[in-house]
Chains A and B, each alone.
Chain A
């Protein structure tokens, strides 16, 4: 079974490993301790103390904050319960006109704004572009990944989390609150 030191994994993560070495890593049986080293790498790169439970994207992490599990940006901005689509607490800019789309797509490269809108989700803290959605009007935002964290830690990793939270999408609860 392969095993890599953290320095090499950091170079992999940063796109600094030579391609032949990356290919060797791709072809080899996977290293079983990758997740732990991955968390170490990421934890060292953020300035806040909350332990990372699961990285979602290069910018967003599910972290343990006291008794809560929340989504947190690399910059420290917090988005709330990980079972609510974090986009509900992001900033959004929507390109739904030829003029706005034209800043990204010009001339014969431009989509039709009557058919779709380009939604850009930013971190309110650092202005990072977290996700971009190309959707027709009417589409709810994608809740891309809702992990079953307790099953993952308890059954797949063999080390249960200290508390237990129901695996459920809580986004509809927030929407209901907004409408009352």
Chain B
């Protein structure tokens, strides 16, 4: 009954080599051409899977509670997993599903680096890594693992990851978008044995205390990771006692191969072979703002191209051909982290009965262009990765739409999703309400709108790209962590794009600084756009608007409160925002290009307005059911000018009933006028192409960031450059 892979009396390095060989030779993970345990007793097979799921989720609950940070306790921004001896994730908890791939590769890297010999692997050891040079994603995410022995045999690993409140980087907090290089990324833990006998080494804690700003919380997270991993280890040993070692070893491998088969089958039965392309772009405009180093006084535009090729065998290949160059900010990511990011996205768009490493064996990531933001180390070994997720999640957003297009062709309309929302973070740092230093992240960004579906609007404030359990935490609890009070947390109208079906809406948090002698606000980028909108006009929809921040310093809010005058509870009108209408202040910013750090500390009664985006829409907006527009008007989720101008819906408000009603005849006329107006103002593509070609050659009205992006994309991917030149019929030596 035992799997083809023999594990007894072989080193872990030998097992890794044998696993690779079997996949190469048979096309099946571990050479499992049949799932014998599943075939023999499917009931027990399912039951044990659910026991493992429960074990991992118990570890999540234990670990988050042992930790004490807002991110773990309130946001659950952590994950625990069970792995094969060679690293492949078998089963994971809920939480940040971007990590099972990274944790798998981390364990494999320990093996490949010869850790069996030096420093040795034994029961009770604790290994950890957050260094992007060795497979980490960004320094705030600490990946940890412990071996699980049954008798004297290493039969599995338990893993844990959590996002700490402060990574010890050059700027406070954990969203290191401003880090100029890896030396500024924060406290490194580089593939280390950080503990033995189930205890963390004292020098590990010493380093945390001397090199992070919030050591109690960072150590709380470390203990939480360890507690969760020990929970998994102890319960897996109990499981083996009950079901037998051979059985558990066999089914763990079968679960992974089962998942690979599912990913292949899903593509073959619900998608189409061929080529799918989606370009996307993301800005990082920092010129003229507060930065760390002079070379950061620049504006950047990222090229985030996605090409998917689905082979006749339903094998999926991903390409980043055309990705632009690395940036002198913390927004560079390494290929292993992209692999893990892809797995995260697969968990959303392909979905699994058994979510684990298996899907990674079903696809291939072409090595991203060396020197690009997606593979920076060959050009700059010290490129920063403080918030490496930022460009990756923007890139992954295209995966929703591209797979949605594939599912649409086969009629699986309920599986279609438009593009994702963005991730604009808010961090505060300074002296808090307990007269102690505080630095950390609010969880507002963990609750976006969900993408529009093929037959319905997306859900509002209920989705997050990096974790399936979107949770922005309780406002009242967040107020206990940071010296802020919520003046508002409101659904933001029209924040889900404009289409036949709109994306789920985002929300806006309005904070007032309270009980602090001074704090900084970082309006951070963990995957946002502020100069541009996403290229997600799926099936004719308009994309969601850009992320913009607002704040006011030196305000008259205390006077207004004393006089019982109106304050600010939402963004309000985009031309005359509530902040400008209601508040007087020494500094009053209502349309700031994100990301940014306030150039001055904020003090008592100063205000911050922080938007969280909705997700993307789908379909021609003038085909939206007028009844849905009316419902949105009644809930305050759309505005009259959008209803009329964008959706072509003519509605009137009844002061008596306090409700909107649609004039159906006028709406039909209006929509006919919109179609006619489109035809009148448009030109044949060929005419536009001829004119636009001249403008491209003249580089007309192209920001420096755009030109720089094109130059690097074409240089790093010469064939991409050739294709671009061929489309515009540009000279072979043309560069931007």
Contacts and interface: CB of A to CB of B under 8 A. Distances in A.
Nearest to A19: B456
A11 to B, nearest CB: 9
Nearest to A125: B679
Given A32-B269, A108-B577, A146-B275, A129 B621 contact: yes
B411 A148 contact: no
Contacts of B312: 148, 151, 155
Interface residues of A, number: 87
A68 interface: no
B245 interface: no
Interface string B615-642: 0000111110100000000000000000
B537 A22 contact: no
A89 interface: yes
A148 B736 CA distance: 34
B278 A142 contact: yes
B702 A137 contact: yes
Interface in B568-605: 571, 573-577, 590-591
Contacts of A152: 272-274
Contacts of B537: 120, 131-134
Given A145-B276, A156-B273, A137 B706 contact: yes
Contact of B531 (A93, A116, A171): A116
B724 interface: yes
B575 A116 contact: no
A39 B623 CA distance: 21
Given A109-B545, A109-B546, A169 B275 contact: yes
Contact of A140 (B415, B577, B727): B727
A15 B621 contact: no
Interface centre among B275, B410, B533, B550 (most CB of A within 10 A): B533
Interface in B3-54: none
Contacts of B590: 108
Given A15-B455, A96-B701, A138 B696 contact: yes
B274 A167 contact: yes
Nearest to A14: B455
B189 to A, nearest CB: 38
Interface in A23-60: 25-26, 30, 32, 34-35, 37-39, 41, 54-59
A15 B705 contact: no
B705 to A, nearest CB: 7
Interface in B375-413: 402, 405-406, 408-413
Contacts of B709: 136
Contacts, number: 275
Interface in A143-180: 143-149, 151-152, 155-156, 167, 169, 171-172, 175-176, 178-179
B533 A134 contact: yes
Interface string B696-733: 10001111011001100000000000011011110000
B701 A113 contact: yes
B203 interface: no
A19 B456 CA distance: 9
Contacts of A120: 537, 678, 682
B446 interface: no
B270 A104 contact: no
Contacts of B705: 115
Given A108-B548, A115-B283, A132-B542, A93 B678 contact: yes
A66 interface: no
A65 interface: no
Interface size class of chain B, counting residues whose CB lies under 8 Å from the partner chain: 35 or more
A34 B411 contact: yes
A93 B414 contact: no
A111 B729 contact: no
B565 to A, nearest CB: 24
A3 to B, nearest CB: 13
A175 B726 contact: yes
A14 B628 CA distance: 13
A18 to B, nearest CB: 11
Report which residue of B405, B535, B700 has the largest number of chain A beta carbons within 10 angstroms of its beta carbon: B535
B685 A156 contact: no
B469 interface: no
Interface string B533-567: 11111111111011010100000000000000000
A58 B539 CA distance: 7
A120 B621 CA distance: 12
A129 B702 CA distance: 26
Given A106-B575, A136-B709, A112 B724 contact: no
Nearest to A127: B675
Contact of B696 (A9, A92, A137, A148): A137
Interface in B306-321: 310, 312, 314
A5 interface: no
Max count, chain A CB within 10 A of own CB: residue among B314, B620, B625, B690: B620
Contacts of A88: 685-686, 689
Contacts of B279: 135, 139, 142
Interface string A77-103: 000000000011111111010000001
A34 B623 CA distance: 25
B521 to A, nearest CB: 17
A156 B686 contact: no
A134 B535 contact: yes
Contacts of A131: 537-540
Interface of B: 268-270, 272-279, 281, 283, 301, 310, 312, 314, 402, 405-406, 408-415, 455-456, 498, 500-501, 531-543, 545-546, 548, 550, 571, 573-577, 590-591, 619-623, 625, 645-646, 674-676, 678-679, 681-686, 688-690, 692, 695-696, 700-703, 705-706, 709-710, 723-724, 726-729, 736
Question: Nearest 8 CB-CB pairs, A to B?
Answer: A132-B537, A38-B411, A127-B675, A107-B574, A91-B682, A107-B575, A129-B540, A109-B545
16 contacts: A30-B269, A30-B412, A38-B411, A57-B539, A92-B682, A107-B574, A115-B703, A122-B682, A129-B621, A134-B537, A136-B702, A137-B696, A138-B706, A140-B727, A142-B277, A144-B277
